[in-house]
Homo-oligomer: A and B are copies of this chain.
Amino acid sequence: MRIGDVARRSGVSVRALRYYEEQGLLSPTRSPGGQREYAEDAVDRVRFFQQLYAAGLPSRRIAELLPCVDTGTTTAEQRAMLDAERDRIRKQIDEYTAALARLDEIVVAAADRRV
């Protein structure tokens, strides 16, 4: 698969795919002409990246936990990182929930006082 196909199928830009490679998240092979050649699972991997990006993980962290996904094993450091990230995400969810409540308050307070 070439880069444009992966982009269309995964819903990200070509530029993003090159960026992921630059960050060590993807390592496509090259055609004799120098063009990137992606394996079939690249699309799923990209979707996985998007999901983690959406949760606020930076490229570095994603790169660090890719070995865990591929080998199904973890080192002590990786477990610590995973725990820390899970904790961070849980706290983020709490903050989002609190902010949502604040917006709800505003809506409710203004519900019977519309202009």
How many copies of the chain does the oligomer comprise?
2
Task: Report the separation of the CA atoms of residues A75 and B113 in the bound assembly, to the nearest whole angstrom.
Answer: 10
Least Cβ–Cβ distance between A36 and chain B, in angstroms = 26
A42 lies within 8 A of chain B by Cβ: no
Query: Secondary structure at chain A's binding surface: helix, strand, loop or mixed?
Result: helix
The number of chain A residues touching the other chain, given as a range, is: 35 or more
Please determine whether A96 and B106 come into contact, CB atoms closer than 8 angstroms. Answer: no
Please determine whether A48 and B102 come into contact, CB atoms closer than 8 angstroms. Answer: yes
A interface residues (Cβ-Cβ under 8 A, vs B): 48, 51-52, 54-57, 65, 68-69, 72-75, 78-79, 82-83, 85-86, 89-90, 92-93, 95-100, 102-104, 106-107, 109-110, 113-115
